[in-house]
Amino acid sequence: MKVMEGENRPWVLVTGARGFIGRAVTKLLQRSGYQALGADQSEATDQRIGSEVCLDITDRGALHSLLESQAFSGIIHLAAILPTAARRDPLRATEVNVRGSLNVLEMAREFGVRRFVFGSSLSVYGTYPAGHVVTEADRAAAEDLYGAAKVYVEQFGEAYRAACGLEFVSLRIGRVVGPGAASATSAWRSQIFELLGTAQPAEIELPYADTERILVVHVEDVAKMLVTLLATPRPAHSVYNAVCESVAVGELKREVERLNPRLRVSLGGEAVVGNPRRLDSSRFGGEFRFEAVSIFELLRTAAGRRVE
């Protein structure tokens, strides 16, 4: 994954760079020899801060100025209004997730960016029966604005791929876990790691039923997959399911509580809707020889670092 060192290192634009995945991607790009410029929304207007630029992707003029001032060989597009916020403000979510994404795609076309990697979501599939293993051949049937926007951007990217030669490729990502997410609506994704070392009693709330299954992937594995799609000379496909692990909620609860008996994981009893429960990730795993680390192994490693 390493690229050439020195002044000829390729520039990559990362949108949504201050987000959970964006931070991990930016760090990995820098370690891999790229020059990464992060873009994220801020009250500041188009002011560079170190390796970041503060802008709103719905501002087409700001995007134009940025790509005019710096040549990028690739873009990893992660900026989005997430599902809970999208439900609260559907108009803003549509402006960002659809119109903003189209702005980024159009600027990539106009300025000759070679590779465009899109951070999509397994929510494009909607709900499937519990035993159904979803593949990329399954029909997209998103059930909310967030998933529908991902489907539309994928279709638009495919159109640009066919008409303009833009190397558009999409990674459909599951529930991303790991320390540092700072999520108010699904705090458990980070807490299962961050609270493993607590010496005081603590509770983690996980909304699903004991018998449900969820598709999870660690944030560092997501970053590796996105950078792999950026770096590979010629991906065989334009859409890939991320390599995720189908985890039984009850098993996850018991393992976290075993690793630290001071922790209690309370379950909410909800069914998994809007996302599949089982996934075929062999397209990505086979083509790139990629295996994600099991969530249980990662939890045991994190717990081991926090004892004594």
Shared-domain flag, residues 284 and 227: no
Please list the ranges in the chain whose pLDDT falls under 70. Answer: 1-7, 42-50, 305-308
Note whether residue 1 is domain-resident.
no
Are 191 and 73 part of one and the same domain? no
Q: How many CB atoms neighbour CB 135 within 10 A?
A: 14
Separation of alpha carbons 98 and 105, rounded Å: 11
Is 59 contained in some domain? yes
Is 114 found in the same domain as 233?
yes
67 and 204 inside one domain:
no
In a domain, 105, yes or no: yes
pLDDT of residue 184: 72
Output the pTM of the full model.
Answer: 0.94
Alpha helices in 111-260, H assignment, sequence order: 145-164, 188-194, 219-231, 249-259
Let me know how long the chain is. 308
Task: Return the CATH number at 71.
Answer: 3.40.50.720
Asked if the structure places residue 291 within a domain, the reply is yes
State phi, psi for 189 to the nearest 5 degrees: -60, -30
Q: Quick one: 243 exposed, middle or buried, by C-beta within 10 A (0-12, 13-18, 19+)?
A: buried
114 half-sphere exposure, CB direction, 13 A CA radius:
14
The answer to the question of residue 6 being in a domain is no
Could you tell me if 73 and 49 are in contact, meaning their C-beta atoms sit under 8 angstroms apart? Answer: no
The pLDDT score that the predictor gives to residue 45 is 38
Are 94 and 207 in a shared domain? no
| AA identity, residue 55 | L
Residues 131, 24 share a domain: yes
- The predicted pLDDT at position 35 comes to 95
Q: Are residues 224 and 208 in the same domain?
A: no
Q: Which residues are registered as beta bridge partners of 248?
A: 213
Domains contained in the chain, number: 2
Residue 257 lies in a domain: yes
Q: Are residues 101 and 204 in the same domain?
A: no
Q: Does 19 fall in a domain?
A: yes
- pLDDT tens column, 74-123: 999 999 999 999 999 999 999 999 999 999 999 999 999 999 999 999 99
- Residue 214 in tokens: 């969820």
The reply to whether 271 and 171 lie within a common domain is no
For residues 182 and 244, the answer to whether their CB atoms sit within 8 Å is: no
Task: Return the sign of the alpha-carbon dihedral for residues 140, 146, 152, 156.
Answer: negative
- Strand, helix or coil for residue 89: coil
Co-location of 55 and 42 in the same domain: yes
Residue 67 sits in the same domain as residue 154? yes
Query: What's the CATH code of the domain at 264?
Result: 3.90.25.10
The pLDDT score that the predictor gives to residue 185 is: 80
Range of the domain at 294: 178-214+245-306
Residues 150, 54, single domain; the answer is yes
Taking the C-alpha atoms of residue 32 and residue 223, their distance in angstroms, rounded to an integer, is 12
